[in-house]
Amino acid sequence: MFIPAANRTDSVTEYYFSQKLREIEQMRQEGIDVINLGIGSPDLPPSGKTIETLVRSSYEQGSHGYQSYKGIPELRAGFSNWYARHFGVTLDPECEILPLMGSKEGIMHITMAFVNPGDEVLIPDPGYPTYGSAAALLSGKIRTYPLIEENDWLPNLDRLEKEGVERVKLMWINYPHMPTGAKATPEFFRKLVEFGVRNHILICNDNPYSFILNHQKLSLLAVPDAKTVCLELNSLSKSQNMAGWRVGMLAGHEEYIQAVLKVKSNMDSGMFRPLQLAAAEALSAPAEWYEEMNRIYRERQVVAADIMDLLGCKVRPNQAGMFLWGRISKKFANAVELSDQLLYQANVFVTPGIIFGSNGQNHIRISLCSSLELLLNAKKRIIKHLNN
């Protein structure tokens, strides 16, 4: 008889993409050529200098030992300069920045550091499923707040206060938003900070999409007094095409950073030094590097919009990030029906919005992390499917 798993595992299920990737792999093993337009894993490479730094520093003596739990000074300085240059935010690299092994790790560490059993955690619907999973695993009380298209996919703060937020400890936001591509405004961020101060709620903005198809880069920490109630996560996974490298960061007041470091230092032993040096190099990329990346994403977005149009989906303009979000036609009962039809009949996978929450059930998401050739091939398959 096997030893039973901890009860906390009953509060979560296997990550949707983990299951779906297994199914797609099984189909491929059976000889079915599936085009996967679901996952947001950049297919473009990091800058050449980033890779060169990784290789060169890997040969340096002392590179392969344990590193500081708080990251090497070069990486913390790199993040500090990056925020000053692109967001206009001053961060002390000594005490207001904590490098992470990806922001997904940070979501768990922040929840562990601040959420007690029974504390309410505000989770966006639709939103990144990991926010809720972390809260559930740590016995926090998940409380979703609705995001709707009519309100530009922004939370209604007045409504939240009227409903009562006395037991809320932590609120997750994510702008530019995944999966909808919606953008925040400086005025909304100002109101959000005031909401956090007024109600004594820690607000954490997960901010990895600012550099992709987005002209106005915003940080929640740019708002006066934000550091008293706010944290911000960022990542090199999307903006520097380094998803598999697992490099992210947390920024905020020293007191909050120390609370998270207390958790983190018990969970890992620091990142590989050459990887950190390469990440610091990636953060120094010039504006031209980002412009070229966005030129490619704009080309892909046009084809993704064509696919949405073929499927009868309505797409809001000016979406940011590496996805395209569209409302499905009423001829489909829900997004899962459309997604499964495309997978099994056209061998093209797109993400059903329901995995991001109930407010996504009538939407699909197409990833721009595939070559133009692959997107055009998917478009051809869908046209053939629709004409059958």
pLDDT surpassing 90 at residue 333: no
Distance, CA of 178 to CA of 250 (rounded, Å)? 19
Distance, CA of 304 to CA of 369 (rounded, Å)? 11
pLDDT surpassing 70 at residue 372: yes
pLDDT surpassing 80 at residue 179: yes
Distance, CA of 256 to CA of 258 (rounded, Å)? 5
- The mean pLDDT of 51-56, rounded to a whole number, is 96
Q: Within 13 Å and on the Cβ side, how many CA atoms surround 177? A: 27
Continuous segment of H or E residues that includes residue 381: helix 372-387
Cα distances (Å, whole numbers) of residue 211 to 38, 234, 285, 294, 322: 20, 11, 12, 8, 10
Closest CA to 257 of 136, 137, 109, 78: 109
pLDDT surpassing 70 at residue 90: yes
Q: How many CB atoms lie within 10 A of CB 90?
A: 11
Q: Which residue has the tokens 């591509």?
A: 181
Confidence of residue 14 (pLDDT cuts 50, 70, 90): low
Closest CA to 374 of 46, 33, 24: 33
**Which domains does the chain carry?**
7-45+287-387 (3.90.1150.10), 48-282 (3.40.640.10)
Q: What's the chain's average pLDDT?
A: 94
> Which tens digit of pLDDT belongs to each residue from 117-155?
999 999 999 999 999 999 999 999 999 999 999 999 999
- The mean pLDDT of 23-45, rounded to a whole number, is 91
* Residue 1 confidence (pLDDT): 75
Pairing of strands 323-327, 363-367: antiparallel
Confidence of residue 23 (pLDDT cuts 50, 70, 90): confident
Q: In sequence order, which ranges of 1-127 are alpha helices (DSSP H)?
A: 16-29, 48-58, 73-87, 103-114
Confidence of residue 15 (pLDDT cuts 50, 70, 90): low
Q: Which residues, listed in sequence order, are joined to residue 251 by a DSSP beta bridge?
A: 97, 232
